[in-house]
């Protein structure tokens, strides 16, 4: 295959036999760690937060009893039996208990939100500029075109399978990017997908749902040629569809904003959805079209001026222009800036990060503007233009009341979310590589030092580790609160950059320990998922719950005050709110000479202050730079 661009060289498979999902069924089963191994890991993360040594000794006693307990051994054998008949013993449980049973609203608590930092080719357009009125539709059309190129690449299985250090990684999550919805239900939701590869048959739907000013439209940007080949409308034709929607809505008052119902608590939305579907057959058909559609595009009249504002609006923006259940939602603002909101249920952040990188690389290569030769690769001349279709629900008095209630509740919730999206520009992974510091390990050290400086203690911390080397693997927790991290934080906060040699030694030890823990977690040897498996086995099999699970320090260390994850080695960075009220979300993207942070907290909160936390994180990073520069003088 001849590759014509950097984007294609990164993403398209050169070998037609090297198809996207080729290795998925060949990947090894997710292992079950030993009980002793998991318990000792757990104890190690309790030490830094255990101020009362008597309490720690009590927990340690329970932990050692847990290892020797024949009832626990029975649970372990049950779990191993499950693993012998499931290539991924965790997969169904994780989906159900981490996501589908949760009753909290998807937006803003669970869905991932992010700004798209593409201002180099698509700068913010001001209201006084001549291009202001046409920019949003034009950019949204080109972005949608490239998103459809990504969809077609997946559908045709031409995306290069990901291989990390010679080891294939699961690509299964990419099957849930498009045509996927989380349907509300009671006592749990249901995840449904209609995505099909070309081998599996024609797509169920090639529509994109467009939300604008409280109205819902369906556009048809794809024509299936001879049943199997997807022909994508040119960006100018998609632009015409979007401009039609803009003009139609501009001549009318705002629509009912039915999408706000999807932002309610899941049990409430389940009841509202039943009411909505029960009004008439047309309502059921509209719901069906939305849920089966490829994706959602939101046109928003807000005009954010930086990535910080884009991030906040992507997470907490107008709920009447949202459909929280859909797997991927693109947001384009009036001034030509972009954000995204994605349901976390079917996949993890790397999926959206990779598609975002694909889109950004595409925009960079064409310098942000459509040219007619681009359409040749997607057979745009064969695609048929279809006018957008307004999708209307018939509403009754009860539904109108539910819409108002959901809107009011969302505004209350959104007002409690504090966000910060900022780039640290002093250095990045280039300097860290000079010192052989793993970039993510180093950033974790800085985060813990900053928390210790603000709060005077260590915090239980969750770091995402990928287990995609296993069949349908998703994530494991790498716990970054451990004794070496505690020693570094105490010393660094007390001494700053005044004693660089000692700080450097402690930094080396903490980085090395993090790398070890991350490698173990990625190889299925973390403790969180295993202990969850033992816990669920006891619950589901009606067995007595071991005492250790109810231990106060164990519960404290499972109460992750720091929710963290690396979005990749680029400036694309998104996040979610913290897992706990007194916590922080701290997500990051690491470039050669910069680190982008995406931080969240709750407000007002007597314990946390997001600006104070980041200010101290910024200073810690500067101090650690001095440590690195002066340690070997």
Catalytic site positions: 344
Length of the chain: 633
Two structure tokens written together for 305 = 């001026």
The DSSP element (H or E) to which 622 belongs, if any, is: helix 610-630
Sign of the Cα pseudo-torsion (316, 319, 325, 327, in order): negative
Q: Name the pairing type of β-strands 329-333 and 295-300.
A: parallel
CA distance linking residue 291 with residue 473, whole number of Å:
26
Q: Is the peptide bond before 604 cis (omega within 30 degrees of 0)?
A: yes
Q: CB–CB of 339/352 below 8 Å?
A: no
Q: CB–CB of 108/414 below 8 Å?
A: yes
Nearest residue to 323 via CA among 210, 409, 224: 210
CB atoms within 10 A of CB 494: 11
Q: Within 13 Å of residue 420, how many CA atoms lie on the same side as its CB?
A: 22
Q: Measured at the alpha carbon of residue 291, what is the angle toward residues 289 and 293, in degrees to the nearest 5?
A: 65
- At residue 265, φ and ψ (nearest 5 deg) are -55, 145
CA distance linking residue 575 with residue 562, whole number of Å:
12
Sheet containing 295-300: give its strands across.
112-115, 338-342, 329-333, 295-300, 208-212, 215-219, 389-390
Please tell me whether residue 397 adopts helix, strand or coil conformation.
helix
């Amino acid at each position: 295959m001849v590759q014509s661009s950097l984007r294609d060289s990164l993403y398209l498979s050169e070998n037609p036999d090297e198809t996207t999902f080729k290795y998925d069924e060949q990947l090894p089963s997710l292992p079950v760690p030993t009980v002793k191994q998991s318990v000792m890991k757990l104890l190690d993360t309790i030490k830094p937060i255990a101020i009362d040594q008597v309490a720690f000794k009590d927990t340690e006693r329970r932990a050692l009893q847990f290892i020797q307990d024949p009832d626990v051994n029975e649970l372990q054998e049950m779990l191993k039996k499950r693993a012998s008949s499931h290539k991924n013993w965790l997969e169904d449980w994780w989906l159900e208990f981490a996501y589908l049973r949760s009753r909290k609203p998807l937006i803003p608590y669970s869905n991932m939100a992010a700004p798209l930092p593409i201002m180099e080719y698509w700068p913010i357009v001001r209201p006084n500029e001549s291009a202001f009125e046409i920019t949003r539709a034009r950019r949204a059309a080109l972005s949608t075109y490239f998103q459809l190129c990504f969809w077609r690449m997946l559908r045709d299985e031409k995306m290069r399978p990901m291989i990390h250090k010679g080891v294939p990684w699961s690509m299964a999550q990419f099957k849930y990017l498009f045509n996927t919805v989380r349907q509300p239900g009671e006592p749990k939701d249901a995840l449904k997908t209609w995505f099909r590869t070309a081998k599996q048959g024609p797509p169920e739907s090639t529509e994109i749902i467009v939300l604008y000013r409280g109205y819902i439209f369906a556009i048809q940007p794809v024509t299936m040629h001879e049943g199997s080949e997807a022909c994508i409308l040119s960006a100018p034709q998609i632009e015409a569809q979007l401009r039609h929607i803009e003009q139609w809505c501009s001549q009318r008052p705002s629509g009912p904003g039915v999408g706000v119902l999807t932002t309610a608590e899941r049990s409430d939305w389940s009841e509202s959805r039943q009411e909505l579907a029960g009004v008439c057959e047309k309502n059921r058909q509209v719901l069906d079209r939305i849920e089966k559609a490829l994706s959602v595009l939101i046109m928003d009249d807000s005009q954010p001026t930086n990535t910080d504002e884009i991030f906040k609006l992507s997470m907490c923006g107008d709920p009447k222009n949202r459909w929280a259940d859909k797997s991927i939602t693109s947001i384009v603002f009036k001034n030509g800036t972009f954000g995204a909101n994605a349901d976390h249920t079917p996949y993890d952040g790397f999926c959206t990060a990779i598609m975002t990188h694909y889109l950004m690389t595409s925009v960079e290569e064409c310098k942000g503007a459509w040219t007619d030769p681009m359409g040749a690769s997607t057979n745009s001349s064969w695609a048929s233009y279809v006018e957008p279709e307004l999708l209307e629900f018939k509403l009754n008095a009860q539904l109108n009341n539910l819409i108002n209630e959901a809107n009011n509740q969302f505004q209350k919730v959104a007002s409690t979310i504090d966000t910060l999206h900022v780039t640290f520009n002093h250095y990045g992974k280039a300097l860290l590589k000079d010192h052989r510091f793993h970039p993510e390990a180093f950033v974790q050290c800085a985060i813990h030092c900053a928390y210790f400086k603000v709060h005077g203690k260590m915090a239980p911390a969750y770091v995402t580790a990928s287990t995609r080397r296993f069949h349908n693997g998703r994530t494991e927790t790498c716990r970054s609160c451990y004794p070496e991290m505690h020693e570094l934080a105490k010393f660094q906060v007390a001494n700053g950059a005044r004693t660089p040699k000692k700080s450097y030694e402690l930094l080396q030890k903490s980085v090395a320990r993090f790398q070890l823990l991350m490698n173990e977690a990625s190889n299925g040897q973390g403790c969180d998922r295993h202990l969850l498996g033992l816990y669920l086995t006891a619950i589901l099999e009606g067995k007595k719950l071991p005492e250790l699970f109810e231990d106060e320090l164990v519960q404290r260390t499972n109460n992750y005050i720091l929710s963290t994850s690396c979005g990749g080695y680029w400036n694309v960075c998104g996040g979610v709110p913290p897992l706990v009220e007194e916590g922080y979300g701290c997500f990051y993207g690491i470039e050669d000479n910069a680190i982008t942070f995406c931080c969240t907290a709750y407000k007002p909160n007597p314990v946390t202050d997001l600006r104070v936390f980041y200010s101290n994180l910024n200073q810690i990073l500067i101090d650690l730079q001095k440590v690195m520069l002066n340690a070997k003088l």
